[in-house]
Structure formats: structure tokens, C-alpha cells
Amino acid sequence: AGPFLCWPGISAAVSSTADLVFAGGLDGILRAFDSEDGAILWETNTRQSFGIRNGVEAKGGSIEADGPVIVNGQVFITSGYEKWGEAPGNVVLVYSLNGE
């Protein structure tokens, strides 16, 4: 333990649409919450390896500091944060708001 015991809390900035709130945590989980009642509607684990289109494998990790960016129906998130003993990584992930 130590003075930085926020893990696995949500310490990155959150982003929202009219209906959804997106938040990433030090545990590497990106979650979408209902903006009215706070229910978790969707979540994904970014703390894993990803095959990339160019054939190079990338690894996600903890989500910290900058939050999701929502633009043109897509959610962009960086995954990987090695400060304070968290999980390093090096990916930018893109998710669709309409499930595609």
C-alpha cells in the first residue's frame, strides 16, 4: 500500500453524451453508464493485448489522466499508464456508439 490508494477507482477524466457517461479506471476497464440512473450499460477490458491492422501487437493497460474523446459517433481512449505501479501499455482504442 502507500499514499496512492485510489486503485482500482476511476481517476481519469470522464466524458459524456446526452445519454451516456464514459469512464475508464486504473483497472483498465472502460465503462459506459446511463446518464440518468448511473447503471453500467457496457464495459470492456482494455488491459490486454490487441492485434493491430499493421500486424504489430499492442498492449493496453491502466486508464488514467485523459478521458475518452467522443467525436462523430466514436469513442477514443488511450490505454496504458505506468505511474505508481499501474499497468503500462501503448494503445489508442476506438469504439462505436452505435455498436458497429
pTM score, two decimals? 0.82
3-class secondary structure per residue, 17-61:
CCCEEEEECCCCEEEEEECCCCCEEEEEECCCEEECCCCCEEECC
Is the omega angle on the peptide bond into residue 8 within 30 degrees of 0, that is, cis? Answer: yes
Predicted local distance difference test score (pLDDT) of residue 14: 92
Q: Return the CATH number of the domain spanning residue range 15-95.
A: 2.40.10.480
Which of residues 87 and 94 earns the better pLDDT score? Answer: 94
Tell me which of 1-15, 16-30, 68-82 is least confident. 1-15
Tell me which of 24-38, 69-83, 86-100 is least confident. 86-100
The mean pLDDT of 79-90, rounded to a whole number, is 73
Would you say 91 and 59 are in contact if contact means Cβ atoms under 8 Å apart?
yes
